[in-house]
Amino acid sequence: MLFQTTGLFGMLYQLQLTPTAIDVLSVMVKHQDAGGNVGMKQAEIDEILGVGQASMSRAMALLVERGIVLRSGGGRGHRYALNPAVAGYESQTELEKSMTAQLAVGGPPPIKVPGYDKRPPKCGKGGLRSVA
């Protein structure tokens, strides 16, 4: 069992992830190595979920855009890892070592919470009315 920070789970709703992206993230969390490396390709995750290549690619792109998943490598050989701030570690000590190392180089990559696209509506005239 891996130790994880729980901050991500408390803010999942704010990240505006699709149901498929949440499913992909769940598979990645389950299959990660200590430190967050995920030794699976998109096709392998799709075999588990059965969502199809297009949906899988959109979900993975959203997770990468939000900063929850980190992608390395080019072309078709992408490697994926969970952001160190949400990855699992073998012990509390390993988690602390990883965070200390990340802080020494500026901190882990940010998790990007989308902002509002438009302002909330202004208060209208009058009060609430009952509808029959």
| Residue ranges per structural domain of the chain | 3-104
pLDDT of residue 89: 87
Model pLDDT for residues 28-45, shown as the tens digit of each residue? 999 999 888 898 888 899
In this prediction the pTM is 0.77
Model pLDDT for residues 88-127, shown as the tens digit of each residue? 888 888 888 888 888 888 888 888 888 766 666 677 666 6
DSSP string, 7-57: HHHHHGGGGT--HHHHHHHHHHHHHBPTTSEE---HHHHHHHH---HHHHH
pLDDT of residue 132: 65
Mean residue pLDDT of the chain comes to 84
Collect all residues with Cβ–Cβ distance below 8 Å to 11 and sequence separation of at least 6.
Answer: 111, 113
Averaged pLDDT for residues 66-80: 83
Number of helices (H), then strands (E), in the chain: 5, 5
Class of domain 3-104: mainly alpha
pLDDT at position 75 over 70 = no
